[in-house]
Amino acid sequence: MGSIITGLGSFIPSEVKANDAFHEHEFYDNKGVRVPGSGDLIARKFKKITGIEERRYLANDMNCSDGGFIAAQRAIEDAGIDPEKLDHIICAHNFGDVSYGSVQADVMPSLASRIKQRLGIKNPRSVAYDVLFGCPGWVQGVIQADCFIKAGIAENVLVIGCEALSRVLDPHDRDSMIFSDGAGACILTKSEGGNGIQSFSAVTHAYEEAGYLYCGKSYKPDQGDTKYIKMFGRKIYEYALSNVPVAMKEALDKSGRSLAELKKVFIHQANEKMDEAIIERFYELYGQEELPEGIMPMSIHKLGNSSVATVPTLLDLVYRGEMENHNIKKGDLIMLASVGAGMHINAIVYEV
């Protein structure tokens, strides 16, 4: 017995924020010192490092859970399942609902409960709860769903990843240009076949690494006590390159499948150069220096880093044939992998 994805859905906000939207910003470093150079110059350097040209933000009248609801609804429709038959609804996010213009996160009731209500589900045994696991939250939700199904306590699980990072950004921090909004969801269903989830790995490094991503005050002095998402970019980069390939290899080795069988790797869209370095090191662990053509789809150039939403959104786009030169067919072996605040890493090996 195993679990397969029977439905996928995503929500990509319509509001586009190109890099030139940051040209008038004044940027400061973590010591409160003005970063030299114009906003235009800083944005151009940012694109060279991250690959990001533009990102998506929620409309002012929407919230994080609204995007999650839309993605969930689309996944349910894609699966053709009666939502009353969902045993669990798992929603991954990091900041809950933060209304436009507000500085307060709203996480009660849980976003999963809000989405369940919006879906009109009356079944009380459809248990809804949230997962706070940094950027790997949606992947971790899929891992939990798979464990529920294999344990015989669930047959259908809805896993949602939704984020509205535009509401928690310090406009004076260069890292604010990385983040974006979006949502993705899947239905995981019990299966007696041999496809579906083959294996997974997950780790948490917190002894020294817990504070690599955190909430802190604006870098610009005298901006009050409001806290925004902050990160130590260099530390995260070095951490990811050292640890993500190892976790990916562990997942593949546990599956008993070979590297040659792997058709696609869906990595959390955090930073183009970082993701490229991760996949290169992953293949090097198997003594292979050249990467297969088209092994790693990327959406970060146009969608930015929407945290928990990047992997399910990217997966949905490829499944639907909406990414040029990328497709998936039945029998293909793929991998999902992510890294983020915690610091957490996880990976799943999946046969389509």
Where does a domain end: 193, 225, 253?
193
Give yes or no: residues 183 and 223 share one domain. Answer: no
Domain identity same for 187 and 213: no
Do residues 236 and 164 both lie within one domain?
no
- Check whether residue 188 and residue 207 sit in a common domain: no
What is the C-alpha separation between 294 and 282, in angstroms, rounded?
Answer: 15
Nearest to 329 by CA among 298, 296, 351, 299: 351
Which among 247, 261, 230 is positioned nearest to 139, based on CA atoms?
247
Count CB atoms within 10 A of the CB of residue 348.
25
Last residue of a domain, one of 193, 209, 238: 193
Domain CATH for 266: 3.40.47.10
pLDDT of 46 over the 80 cut: yes
pLDDT at residue 337, rounded to an integer: 98
Percent of the chain with pLDDT over 90: 89
Mean pLDDT of 272-288: 96
**pLDDT for residue 345 is more than 90:** yes
Is 230 found in the same domain as 166?
A: no
- The average confidence (pLDDT) of the chain is 95
Task: Characterize the bridge pairing of strands 181-191 and 156-164.
Answer: antiparallel
Among 176, 193, 210, give the residue marking a domain's end.
193
> Per-residue confidence at 40, pLDDT binned at 50, 70, 90?
confident
Per the structure, the complete domain to which residue 291 belongs is given by 198-351
If asked whether residues 60 and 155 sit together in one domain, one would say yes
Q: 185: which residues sit within 8 A by CB, 6+ positions away?
A: 8, 9, 10, 68, 71, 72, 74, 75, 158, 159, 160, 161, 312
Residues 281 and 339 sit within 8 Å (Cβ to Cβ): no
**200 contacts 346 by C-beta, under 8 angstroms:** yes
Instruction: Find the mean pLDDT for residues 282-286.
Output: 97
- The answer to whether residue 231 scores a pLDDT higher than 90 is yes
Residues 165 and 214 in one domain: no
One domain for residues 297 and 212: yes
Is 112 in the same domain as 24? yes
- Alpha-carbon distance values, 325 to 11, 270, 275, 321 (Å): 22, 21, 19, 9
pLDDT > 80? residue 38: no
Residue 260 has pLDDT above 90, yes or no: yes
Is 181 in the same domain as 235?
Answer: no
Using one digit for the tens of pLDDT, what is the confidence trace for 178-214? 999 999 999 999 998 889 999 999 999 999 999 999 9
At 98 the pLDDT is 96
Domain count, the chain: 2
The pLDDT assigned to 183 comes to: 98
Q: Convert 92-144 into a string of H (helix), E (strand) and C (coil).
A: ECCCCECCCCCCCCECCCCHHHHHHHHHCCCCCCCEEEEECCCCCHHHHHHHH
Query: 3-state DSSP call for residue 36?
Result: coil
> Do 210 and 310 sit in the same domain of this protein?
yes
How confident is the model at residue 49, as a pLDDT? 86
What's the CA gap between 171 and 158, in Å, rounded?
A: 34
Read off the pLDDT of each residue in 73-80 and give the average, rounded to a whole number. Answer: 98
Mean pLDDT (whole number) for 55-68? 97
Length of the chain: 352
130 with 177, same domain: the answer is: yes
pLDDT at 105 over 80: yes
- Give the tens place of pLDDT for each residue, 291-322: 999 999 999 999 999 999 999 999 999 999 99
What's the predicted TM-score (pTM) here? 0.94
Burial class (CB in 10 A: 0-12, 13-18, 19+), 250: middle
The closest alpha carbon to 227, from 118, 50, 98, belongs to: 98
